[in-house]
Amino acid sequence: MRLEAMAVKIPHVDGHPNRVPFEGVLTVVNAASDKAPAGARGHRVMLTWEAAEKALPSLLGMAVDYRPGWDGHDARRKIGLLTEVDLIGQRLVVRGYLYARDFPEVAEAIQAQSPEALGMSYELADARVEDLRAEVWKLTRVTFTGAAILLREKAAYRATSFRMAS
């Protein structure tokens, strides 16, 4: 097992009303997606371990968004911040904070979901695809621009997860 990790140090504040921690599996590396993500023109994708490792710094400080209905991305609905990223084996694990006081209806909606219902999805720019003619696009270089919380069944990777601290 190989582990890579990075974090932005944010001081802990007991009981901070607007900083509720979360943890999730953003994606799985070196594995083809279960379905085509948005922007992949119908192709399933595979993010290589090497590309994910090089792009880890681009995730730190990026926003987490959601879309009402939990069925996709909406970069204009930013509800949190990514502060830590770990590449643990094939799982890209993220941690951060949701702005629960600023978005109480979203925090309540997350808490109302069953623990297994929510997953995550990454947002990219500057992606390099090894062969655009391939059935599964192999991503060899990416820049992460954020992440979304959505229903696991809507995520390109069903092995993603999302959990907000109670």
Tens digit of pLDDT per residue, the chain (166 long)? Answer: 556 667 778 888 888 999 999 999 999 999 999 999 988 999 999 999 999 999 999 999 999 999 999 999 999 999 999 999 999 999 999 999 999 999 999 999 999 999 899 999 999 999 999 999 999 999 999 999 999 999 999 999 999 999 998 6
pLDDT at position 3 is 60
In terms of Cα–Cα distance, which of 69, 161, 164, 71 is closest to 116? 161
In terms of Cα–Cα distance, which of 129, 123, 124, 97 is closest to 110? 97
Sign of the torsion formed by the C-alpha atoms of 165, 159, 41 and 54: positive
Walk me through the domains of the chain, giving residue ranges and CATH numbers: 3-9+17-164 (3.20.16)
Neighbouring residues of 70: CB distance < 8 A, sequence distance ≥ 6? 109, 113, 118, 149, 150, 151, 154
pLDDT at position 2 is 59
* Start-to-end C-alpha separation, the chain: 30
Query: 64 pairs with which residues across the strands?
Result: 80, 147
Task: Dig out the tokens for 24 from the structure.
Answer: 């999730």
Q: Are 126 and 142 in contact (CB under 8 A)?
A: yes
Question: What is the separation of C-alpha 58 from the centre of its chain, rounded to a whole number of angstroms?
Answer: 12
